[in-house]
C-alpha cells in the first residue's frame, strides 16, 4: 500500500540528548514536510523539502535539523538546542502544491 | 509568519444539525486554500483544495466555498453525524512561500 510511515510512535528522550524521527514515503512525492503540534495549537512548520538534496527552514526551525538524501526519506533530528521538544510531530508529503498526505505521527516526550 | 485564523475553536452540535466553520487568510498573493479533517487517533486527511475565487467544492454532506478577494472560506456540514466528529483544519498557500500555513483548527463534536 502507498503511504507515509513514521517511527517510532512514541519516543522518550532525556534532556540534553539528540533524537532522530523517521519519515518514509512510497508515494513518489517530491515534497516532504515536518510539522509540530502542541496542545490547543495548529500545525506549525519546522522544515520542508521540495526536492532531494534541498530543504528550507519553516517557522520554528531552531533546534531542529533535517536531511533529504533520498526522495523517500526525510528524517528530523531534534537536537539538545531545542528548548521545549515535548510535542506531537507529523510528517507529510505532497506532489507539488497539491493535497498533503500525512503520516501517523510521533509523540516525543522529554524526561 | 502568515496569519490563518479559524472560528469557532470548538463546536458541539446534535446529530442532524447543519453547521459551518470559517477560515480567514491574507487575501494578498493567494495561491490555494486546503481543508483537512483530523479524526482522533488518525492522520489528517484532505477534504478540498481550492484555488479560484468563487470556488465551491462538495464531498457528500460536506461542502466548502472560497472568497479570495476578502480572504475567507466556509466549510459546511449538512445533517451532522457522529462520525463527522473531528478537528477541521484549513491551510493557506501564499505566493512566495512554498509551504502551507495552517490555522489552529475547529474541533467539532456531534452528539448522537
The residue to which cell 507539488 is assigned = A96
The residue to which cell 517510532 is assigned = A8
Closest CA to B10 of B86, B67, B64, B98: B86
Q: ∠ at Cα A74 (A64, B38), nearest 5°?
A: 85
Cis omega before residue B88 (within 30°)? no
Confidence tier at B98 by pLDDT (50, 70, 90): confident
Residues of B in contact with A41 (CB under 8 A): 104
Which residue is closest to A44 within chain B, CA to CA? B102
For residues B13 and B80, the answer to whether their CB atoms sit within 8 Å is yes
Q: pLDDT > 90: what percent of chain B?
A: 86
User: Residues A54-87: pLDDT tens digits?
Assistant: 999 999 999 999 999 999 999 999 998 888 999 9
Nearest CB to B102 within list A43, A50, A104: A43
Cα of B54 to nearest chain A Cα, Å: 19
A104 touches chain B (CB under 8 A): yes
Confidence tier at A37 by pLDDT (50, 70, 90): very high
Round to whole Å and give the CA distance between B56 and A93.
25
**Phi and psi at residue B63, in whole multiples of 5°?**
-140, 160
User: Residues A9-32: pLDDT tens digits?
Assistant: 999 999 889 999 999 999 999 999
**Phi and psi at residue B18, in whole multiples of 5°?**
-100, 145
A1 touches chain B (CB under 8 A): no
The confidence score (pLDDT) of residue A21 equals 96
Q: Which residues contact B7 (CB under 8 A, 6 or more apart)?
A: B21, B22, B24, B106
B98 to A56: CB separation less than 8 angstroms, yes or no: yes
Round to whole Å and give the CA distance between A18 and B38.
29
The residue to which cell 528548548 is assigned = A83
Compute CA distances A35 → A32, A96, B48, whole Å.
Answer: 10, 17, 20
Amino acid at each position: 500500500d502507498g503511504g507515509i510511515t513514521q517511527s517510532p510512535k512514541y519516543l522518550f528522550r532525556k534532556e540534553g540528548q539528540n533524537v532522530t524521527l523517521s519519515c518514509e514515503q512510497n508515494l513518489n512525492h517530491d515534497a516532504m514536510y515536518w510539522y509540530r503540534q502542541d496542545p490547543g495549537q495548529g500545525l506549525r512548520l519546522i522544515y520542508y523539502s521540495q526536492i532531494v538534496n534541498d530543504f528550507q527552514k519553516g517557522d520554528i526551525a531552531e533546534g531542529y535539523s533535517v536531511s533529504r538524501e533520498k526522495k523517500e526519506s526525510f528524517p528530523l533530528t531534534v537536537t539538545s538546542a531545542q528548548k521545549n521538544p515535548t510535542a506531537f510531530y507529523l510528517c507529510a508529503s505532497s506532489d507539488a502544491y497539491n493535497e498533503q498526505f500525512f503520516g501517523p505521527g510521533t509523540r516525543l516526550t522529554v524526561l | 509568519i502568515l496569519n490563518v485564523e479559524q472560528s469557532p475553536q470548538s463546536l458541539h452540535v446534535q446529530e442532524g444539525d447543519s453547521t459551518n466553520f470559517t477560515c480567514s487568510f491574507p487575501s494578498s498573493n493567494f495561491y490555494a486554500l486546503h481543508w483537512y479533517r483530523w479524526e482522533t487517533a488518525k492522520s489528517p486527511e484532505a477534504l478540498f483544495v481550492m484555488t479560484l475565487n468563487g470556488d465551491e467544492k462538495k464531498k457528500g454532506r460536506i461542502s466548502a466555498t472560497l472568497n479570495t478577494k476578502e480572504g475567507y472560506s466556509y466549510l459546511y456540514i449538512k445533517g451532522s453525524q457522529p462520525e463527522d466528529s473531528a478537528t477541521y483544519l484549513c491551510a493557506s498557500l501564499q505566493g512566495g512561500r512554498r509551504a502551507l500555513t495552517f490555522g489552529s483548527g475547529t474541533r467539532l463534536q456531534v452528539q448522537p
